[in-house]
Structure 1
């Protein structure tokens, strides 16, 4: 085998810091300065083959030659420019034959190198390049302080094989490192996804159809009321679904599997009554097209369903109220029209009564047609009729809540009383006022409102000779509330109304 014994310095034409070579080196072995015991076997074999005291696996960077494995020296690096191996790194394809220096002290290329001219007075060198992706990144070499007369060709071939082995090992370790980085990144991504699902309270699951097991996150198990640490079977999951929804849920799943469509269904959990939304599809099928795994997510939509049901109830209640209100408005319009033939007077009276109903409806709407406070209703109905509410309206009351029928009826009563007080009673003079006393009483185990309307400081009052529609409306506005009553007394000191209203 021919051995290169060149006399010219290739460094002059092939710089050590070629970007292509350094790029491969740094990408493949980012930890080149750290010794690696995995290469110890290679230097041991090389030293044994050549019976040499020093053997190295090196990587050649721009400034330093790093020793990944070494025998015969405790050093971990040497200057690249002063090394023997730099000639192989700079020689390109010509480096494949390796480099043998029998006596460095007589070789003009090396005789002045510090390690030749001074300690340890190296004389013999044999090296073979480590080539990765077409670039020489390092060497496997042996050194001796004694010169030699020659080297057998088979030994150089063996050194070449060791260098190839080192190159393969570097590549394998690089691939393993990159794979580990990818797996770590994937693990972090999976962890991030898992944390995001938990934070959003989204259950994720994978159903192994053949084994009947379901792997799910803690959110999913929590939704189905199952222990977080327990293994879960499909029977347990389907068993947790409400009996009323179980058949439809399973039927939708089977249809999605058969048609290769996305499953989208809503069901309740039997023990808790909570609503869950499930979505998913077949993830894997066998060669015959049979489903193997089914992947999906589950979301707790109880709040949304509760809101939907509440909205439906509100709409139903609103529809009922609208019908009742229309009937009431028709009756008000007819009765008001009977009392007067003057259009202007009709519009004034009817608009006031319409406003009274509107105010009560507005309060009820703000409270989703539940209950409203008596104090709020009184303020809404009386504010339009006084100049100073605090001075003209005096209230002594308990904390009382009213339902829709009670609020609408009592609102009309208060409006008619206030209208009469403005026309003829205490609110027709600056010093007059109305005193309201509202007490919650217990009668036969039921709560009843006793409300007293008393006008004070107004002109003398006389009982009207003819009962007008206002008086009739006061007496009949609470007809929808069973057990209610309104009694109006025309005392000389002022009008008094006694209202009894079951709560």
Structure 2
């Protein structure tokens, strides 16, 4: 049920158009048009308190007043400009009581007061979210009242406050569920990337002895995929002839704050593993708290001495760079957020970007990889229809390890930003990439342009986040490279220069 007023009050217009109020409303209750049985009890209590024919829990956007719960009517919405409840929201912190609308100059000429359903009595209290009036708890009746006690009005206001609290609780639950779902997806992608590259990753809690490791690590050490892992399990799996030296190297790395670098055999299988790692953080007294690292199965490389020497030299360099990058990414990401779920989402995505590049390089024995393959690996997880959303114009380009890892991170950060705010946040948006080999002073240089089209209007951010810094610095290891990001109104454009 709704009541149309004779003309729109200026205060009502200001309320309906207020961007702050609409922002709070849409952010907190994105499904406002859907009735919610969780609010039925509030409407039923209001109807009972006032012995009223109709009771509502409403939300008011620019055009409509939506009924989240209703007693005495089957309607689900009403025009916002003509609703009694809009006057309540316009007053923000005050309730509205109309004892007899037929003699009230604001509503006496209204057609639903003069005609069916002959509304006479109305009482409403505002629902406040973050200081903004977004709706009401209200009651209607076709019988006028001579008076309404302050205690009843107080109870109506308490019901409105209860509705506001319920909206907040449901919003927090919704946001938490979205974060948990996003984290779960990122964890799955992370695990798949490391599995594809056959890299065991681990984080050792030195005080408790617990080791958090992926399935690749457990498989390398002959441990059950479902089992919890402790330091005793790991050291116990190492060949007895290599165990002492491995433990000594770890202790020395902790003491000297240096990097651990060790190769050892697994006792049961005889397979050779390469481990690299270092202390991740320390307590106030300098004692190590956690140790982070990676483990790679190098059995096949050991079969050929010359091949092993060449490959290990490259692997040591790459793993060292990757470990340093992982630590830097972890620390910088932690500085950006104190929320564990948000940290894991951001960190896992960046770790996935590194893993994807490592996986391609591993497939090509750490030689060169094709630019098109790297682009596909980094962008496929961010789009639903790759052929429609990614347009690629390119020359044939081959990338070395430093170039591939650095450019992979740049592409990941650009894609993540595009999914959140840019062209990939809408179904018809897309990214156009143009890659050209250009000869400059006798040397070949890749000019790669990232252009977002079809997305929402873009504004340059007021503050440079870690993602922006990472885009600019991911290619630091490649001399002469540069990344320039331009926030054009039509879409983000990135100009990448990369010597080949």
Mapping of residues 52-451 of structure 1, within 5 Å:
52-89=52-89, 91=90, 94-283=91-280, 290-309=287-306
Decide whether aligned partners of structure 1 residues 131 and 45 sit closer, same or farther in structure 2, where only a CA change above 3 A counts. same
Contact kept in structure 2, 1:67 and 1:76, CA below 8 Å = yes
Contact kept in structure 2, 1:82 and 1:113, CA below 8 Å = no
Aligned with 2:169: secondary structure?
helix
Decide whether aligned partners of structure 1 residues 116 and 257 sit closer, same or farther in structure 2, where only a CA change above 3 A counts. farther
Structure 2: 5+ residue stretches without partners: 1-6, 311-500
CA deviation map 1:418-475 (0-9, x unaligned): xxxxxxxxxxxxxxxxxxxxxxxxxxxxxxxxxxxxxxxxxxxxxxxxxxxxxxxxxx
Decide whether aligned partners of structure 1 residues 213 and 24 sit closer, same or farther in structure 2, where only a CA change above 3 A counts. closer
Decide whether aligned partners of structure 1 residues 10 and 158 sit closer, same or farther in structure 2, where only a CA change above 3 A counts. farther
Q: Which residue number corresponds to residue 37 of structure 2?
A: 37
Contact kept in structure 2, 1:100 and 1:127, CA below 8 Å = yes
Contact kept in structure 2, 1:104 and 1:111, CA below 8 Å = yes
* TM-score normalized by the length of structure 2: 0.55
CA deviation map 1:222-271 (0-9, x unaligned): 11223333443433321221222211111122223334444332212233
CA distance in 2, matches of 1:187, 1:259: 37
Decide whether aligned partners of structure 1 residues 158 and 262 sit closer, same or farther in structure 2, where only a CA change above 3 A counts. farther
Contact kept in structure 2, 1:10 and 1:87, CA below 8 Å = no
CA distance in 1, matches of 2:111, 2:277: 72
Q: Which residue number corresponds to residue 28 of structure 2?
A: 28
CA distance in 1, matches of 2:124, 2:309: 87
Structure 1: 5+ residue stretches without partners: 1-6, 314-503
Mapping of residues 12-27 of structure 1, within 5 Å:
14=14, 16-27=16-27
Aligned with 2:17: secondary structure?
coil
Q: Which segment drifts farther, 290-299 or 214-223?
A: 290-299
CA distance in 2, matches of 1:202, 1:115: 72
* TM-score normalized by the length of structure 1: 0.55
Q: Which residue number corresponds to residue 388 of structure 1?
A: none
Contact kept in structure 2, 1:9 and 1:109, CA below 8 Å = no
Decide whether aligned partners of structure 1 residues 49 and 10 sit closer, same or farther in structure 2, where only a CA change above 3 A counts. farther
CA distance in 2, matches of 1:154, 1:207: 61
Contact kept in structure 2, 1:63 and 1:81, CA below 8 Å = yes
CA distance in 2, matches of 1:241, 1:154: 76
CA distance in 2, matches of 1:47, 1:286: 60
Aligned with 1:16: secondary structure?
helix
CA distance in 2, matches of 1:130, 1:206: 48
- CA shift, 1:124, in A, is 0.7
Decide whether aligned partners of structure 1 residues 270 and 8 sit closer, same or farther in structure 2, where only a CA change above 3 A counts. closer
CA distance in 2, matches of 1:118, 1:159: 27
Contact kept in structure 1, 2:88 and 2:94, CA below 8 Å = no
CA distance in 2, matches of 1:29, 1:40: 16
Aligned with 1:193: secondary structure?
helix
Contact kept in structure 1, 2:12 and 2:81, CA below 8 Å = no
CA deviation map 1:70-106 (0-9, x unaligned): 22222222222332112223x2xx3322111111222
Q: Which segment drifts farther, 281-290 or 144-153?
A: 281-290
CA deviation map 1:313-340 (0-9, x unaligned): 9xxxxxxxxxxxxxxxxxxxxxxxxxxx
Decide whether aligned partners of structure 1 residues 221 and 27 sit closer, same or farther in structure 2, where only a CA change above 3 A counts. same
CA root-mean-square deviation: 2.8
Decide whether aligned partners of structure 1 residues 260 and 54 sit closer, same or farther in structure 2, where only a CA change above 3 A counts. farther
- CA shift, 1:283, in A, is 4.9
Aligned with 2:42: secondary structure?
helix
CA distance in 1, matches of 2:287, 2:156: 57
CA distance in 1, matches of 2:257, 2:37: 54
CA distance in 2, matches of 1:213, 1:23: 45
Contact kept in structure 1, 2:59 and 2:135, CA below 8 Å = yes
Q: Which segment drifts farther, 195-204 or 172-181?
A: 172-181
Decide whether aligned partners of structure 1 residues 283 and 24 sit closer, same or farther in structure 2, where only a CA change above 3 A counts. same
Decide whether aligned partners of structure 1 residues 230 and 9 sit closer, same or farther in structure 2, where only a CA change above 3 A counts. closer
